[in-house]
Structure 1
Amino acid sequence: MEQLDTEQVTKAVVALKQFLKKKQAQKSKQALVDENKTIQIIFTRITVPRNESLKAIPIKLPHNIRGDGEACLFVKDSDKDRIKAHLKDDPVAGLTKVMTIKKLKKNYSQFKDKRELKAAYGVFLVDDRVLPYVKSLVGKTFFDAKKQPTTVNVTGKKNISTHIRRVLGGTEMFLSPGPC
């Protein structure tokens, strides 16, 4: 499979922007408020995956799209102290809360509590080992608001902060069965 040529993609985006600007200038009637134009990219696959996966494919981005919001990390009950100690030595900007599955289940079982939790943080991260449990605990509220937890690998003794920074600085793509 061929890789995308970044120079060609950059040229195409610049040409598209110039075309839109020229088209806007040709309009005789101007709007009261300037509108931002969005450009969307659609990915299609050559082969159809055999099965659906709960895990998303991480995509590294050159610029952070999440903003400066606060982040919450869901971890196994037995790993909280180890992860907090590591984050104390090497803090991650924006990560303000490390929560165990037990605390999530106990304190956020009601629908209104889940809504408050969703509103309290901009980004949710989850230890990849407990992802299936967290998906059922946070429920539909998070997925409707596109705040589903992003997986991060915190199993190693070092590089936990590096993994978290990488996830916070990128995005992810979910694969579903089918060609689209």
Structure 2
Amino acid sequence: MITVDGQAARVLAAYTDLLVERGIRGATLEAVASRAGLSKSGALHHFGSVGALRAALFVEMRAQAGRDAEEMRSAPDAAVRYYLVSSLDRDSELERLIDAGYRVAQTGDEAALEALRACRDDWLEALVAATGDEVLARMVLFVGDGVNHNALMSPPEGDEVLTPAHVEALVATLEAMRVPGPRA
């Protein structure tokens, strides 16, 4: 966790995990406290309500997505590869935060949608800066979304639809599409 540490991080991680595993109805304060190994009052000491936990989730998600986008900005020649290969990883802390954010967003929570959009916009901005091509950047973003979606559906072994070799071929194809100068 970037924005919290110690027991607060345990509480936020428990909330995130419960959202991913059980959905919003399963992420009660009692369940969060139990998962974090604290009493309900111990969890409330760090986050005064489920609403405060939800807000902390969005702050953490945006912070980690921002760090992810900064990683792409720091190595623009590797940004396409970084984004697509990281889209395969379904078990990262960032991915779990995003999955939890989607669970909340599915209830119509506007703050969740705003946080998810901000993450997407930051990644897109980093990809545009790296590729110098807004159309190509959007293609990379959308392909990454598809890679991530298919990684979710893929069995642990033997999937012929999506393998690291397929992602490498996508990277090579998209990198070959770079053209000199900006394209709108």
For the pair shown, which has the larger CA radius of gyration, 1 or 2? Answer: 1
Higher relative contact order (CA 8 A, sep 6+): 1
Give TM-score scaled by structure 1 length: 0.25
Higher helix share: 2
Give TM-score scaled by structure 2 length: 0.25
